[in-house]
């Protein structure tokens, strides 16, 4: 069985269309869009409606990502987010929520947390099956992997979330990360996704990198109003897309460690402290 994993589109329609065009000739039996269709980028409504078109083909399935859920909860005024509503880093989340209609939110709310293909021993979730923000990368301990496999048996675990391709074999379990279509964090700005060929005997994988019109995606930040209206968070998302490097989370953690507010003045201090994060490959 040939399975394609696309994830972390993040409202980047040009990157999504390029990945889909690349996928056309690969004869995938199943395509899993593994969470985070929206937020960060400007084309949130358009991406969801493109998902609806793809769903009509039958071989497309979808999972819930943390950003999908964040926007859903924001739009529904979830009290657990009360500390974020006035945070400069999250103004763009409110902007994303304002772009969606009730039918978009209902679709997000119905997304499953994971997909398990028992006959192939394949388990797919945005992060891990136990949490959508538990990404598979070098920071995840052997103990954590063992716990996941014990609770959620699988021969192959596939996640996304970290925006970086990753491979790890631990005992009898193959652990893979699909990378990101819409906002990679490995220094390569191309749209990235993963193709699997799975048989009862083995799993083969290929990480694919697809050039697309990055400048069009960056212009959409301006044309949509996101960059102007989305505050500091939108500015960081724009730079992340441009540099293919993670900026928001490192800045957030740095500001907390320094005891500083997450505002524009602190952002300028962070830039001075970490100039290496802003180079473009």
pLDDT in tens, 153-210: 999 999 999 999 999 998 899 999 999 999 999 999 999 999 999 988 889 999 999 9
Residue 280, pLDDT score: 55
Determine whether 197 is exposed, middle or buried from the number of CB atoms within 10 Å of its CB (0-12, 13-18, 19+).
Answer: middle
More confident residue, 171 or 78: 78
Q: pLDDT tens-digit profile of 82-97?
A: 999 999 999 999 999 9
Is the predicted pLDDT of residue 140 greater than 60, yes or no? Answer: yes
Closest CA to 189 of 118, 245, 144: 245
Distant-in-sequence contacts of 130-135, Cβ < 8 A, 24+ apart? 132/35, 132/64, 132/65, 132/66, 132/69, 132/161, 133/66, 133/161, 134/159, 134/161, 135/159, 135/160, 135/161, 135/162, 135/177
Is the predicted pLDDT of residue 278 greater than 80, yes or no? Answer: no
Mean pLDDT calculated for residue range 108-113: 98
Tokens (6 digits) for 91: 């103004």
Q: What is the DSSP string of 19-79?
A: HHHHHGGG--SEEEEES--SSSSS-HHHHHHHHHHHHTTSSEEEE--HHHHHHHHHHTT-G
C-alpha to C-alpha distance for 1 and 253, rounded to whole angstroms:
41
Residue 46, pLDDT score: 98
C-alpha to C-alpha distance for 8 and 184, rounded to whole angstroms:
8
Closest CA to 252 of 243, 241, 242, 240: 240
Is the predicted pLDDT of residue 233 greater than 70, yes or no? Answer: yes
Residue 57, pLDDT score: 86
pTM: 0.96
C-alpha to C-alpha distance for 243 and 238, rounded to whole angstroms:
9
Residue 276, pLDDT score: 83
Q: Which backbone phi and psi does 117 adopt, to 5 degrees?
A: -105, 90
Residue 177, pLDDT score: 98
CB 152 within 8 A of CB 158: no
Is the predicted pLDDT of residue 279 greater than 70, yes or no? Answer: no
pLDDT band at residue 148 under the 50/70/90 scheme: very high
């Amino acid at each position: 069985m040939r399975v394609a994993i696309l994830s972390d589109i993040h409202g980047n329609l040009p990157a999504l269309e390029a990945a889909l065009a690349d996928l056309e000739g690969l004869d995938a039996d199943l395509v899993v869009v593994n969470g985070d269709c929206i937020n960060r980028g400007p084309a949130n409504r358009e991406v969801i409606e493109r998902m609806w078109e793809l769903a009509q083909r039958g071989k497309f399935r979808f999972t819930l990502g943390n950003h999908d859920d964040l926007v859903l909860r924001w739009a529904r005024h979830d009290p657990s987010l009360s500390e974020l509503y006035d945070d400069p880093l999250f103004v763009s989340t409110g902007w994303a929520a304002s772009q969606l209609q009730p039918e978009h939110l209902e679709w997000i709310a119905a997304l499953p947390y994971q997909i398990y293909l028992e006959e192939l021993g394949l388990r797919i979730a945005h992060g891990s099956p136990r949490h959508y923000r538990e990404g598979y990368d070098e920071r995840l301990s052997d103990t954590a992997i063992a716990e996941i496999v014990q609770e959620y048996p699988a021969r192959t675990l596939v996640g996304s979330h970290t925006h970086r391709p990753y491979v790890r074999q631990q005992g009898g379990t193959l652990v893979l990360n699909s990378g990101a279509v819409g906002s990679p964090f490995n220094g390569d700005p191309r749209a990235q996704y993963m193709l699997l060929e799975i048989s009862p005997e083995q799993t083969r994988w290929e990480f694919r990198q697809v050039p697309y019109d990055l400048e069009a995606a960056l212009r959409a930040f301006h044309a949509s109003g996101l960059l102007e209206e989305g505050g500091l968070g939108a500015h960081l998302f724009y730079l992340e897309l441009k540099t293919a490097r993670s900026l928001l989370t490192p800045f957030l953690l740095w500001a907390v460690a320094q005891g500083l507010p997450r505002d524009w003045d602190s952002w300028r201090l962070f830039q001075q402290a970490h100039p290496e994060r802003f180079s473009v490959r």
